[in-house]
Amino acid sequence: MQRNDIRNIAIIAHVDHGKTTMVDEMLKQSGTFRTNEHVEERVMDSNSLEKERGITILSKNTSVSYKDVKINIVDTPGHADFGGEVERIMRMVDGVLLLVDAKEGPMPQTRFVLKKALAEGLQPIVVVNKIDRPDRRPEEVIDEVLDLFIALEADEDQLEFPVIYASAKNGFAKLTVEEESDNLKPLFDAILEHIPCPEGDPDDGVQLLISNIDYDKYIGRIGIGKLTRGNLKKGQQAVLVKGNEGQKSVKVSNLYNFQGLGRTEIEEASVGEIIAISGVGDINIGDTLCSVDKVEPLPFIEIDDPTISMNFMVNDSPFAGKEGTFVTSRHLKDRLEREMLSNVAMKMEEVSADCFRVLGRGELHLSILIETMRREGYEFAVSRPEVILKRTEEGLFEPMEHLFIEVPDESASAVIEKVGLRKGEMLDMVPTGTGVTKLEFRIPARGLIGYRSEFLTDTKGYGIFHHLFDGYDIYRGDIRVRNRGSLVAFETGAAVAYGIYHAQERGNMFVSPGIDVYAGMIVGESSRLEDIAVNVCKKKQLTNIRSSGADDSLRLVPPTIFSLEQSLEFIADDEIVEMTPKNIRIRKKILDKVTRERLQKRAQQ
Binding residues for GTP: 16-21, 129-132
CA–CA gap between residue 15 and residue 78 (Å, rounded): 4
CA–CA gap between residue 562 and residue 227 (Å, rounded): 47
CA–CA gap between residue 183 and residue 372 (Å, rounded): 37
Partner residues linked to 482 by β-bridges: none
Handedness of CA 550, 551, 552, 556 (dihedral sign): positive
CA–CA gap between residue 195 and residue 215 (Å, rounded): 30
End-to-end C-alpha distance for the chain, whole angstroms? 74
CA–CA gap between residue 32 and residue 50 (Å, rounded): 22
- Give the rounded distance of the alpha carbon of 543 from its chain centre: 57
For 175-193, the DSSP string reads: SSSSS--SSSHHHHHHHHH
Backbone Cα Rg of the chain = 27
CA–CA gap between residue 267 and residue 180 (Å, rounded): 44
CA–CA gap between residue 71 and residue 64 (Å, rounded): 5
Question: Residue 424 carries which side chain, given as an amino acid letter?
Answer: G
DSSP state of 294: B
State the pairing for strand pair 486-489/532-534: parallel
Give the 3-state secondary structure of residue 461: coil
Determine phi and psi for 171, rounding to 5 degrees. 70, 35
Sequence-distant (≥ 6) Cβ neighbours of residue 471 within 8 angstroms: 399, 400
Asked if 600 contacts 535 with a C-beta cutoff of 8 angstroms, the reply is no
Determine phi and psi for 406, rounding to 5 degrees. -125, 120
Residues of each annotated binding site: 16-21, 129-132
Measured CA to CA in angstroms, residue 331 lies from 314, 322, 335, 378, 420 at distances of 9, 16, 6, 8, 43
Measured CA to CA in angstroms, residue 511 lies from 380, 495, 536, 551, 583 at distances of 21, 8, 9, 17, 12
CA–CA gap between residue 554 and residue 499 (Å, rounded): 11
Determine phi and psi for 45, rounding to 5 degrees. -80, 80
CA–CA gap between residue 386 and residue 217 (Å, rounded): 35
* Helices and strands, counts by H and E, the chain: 15, 35
Give the 3-state secondary structure of residue 5: coil
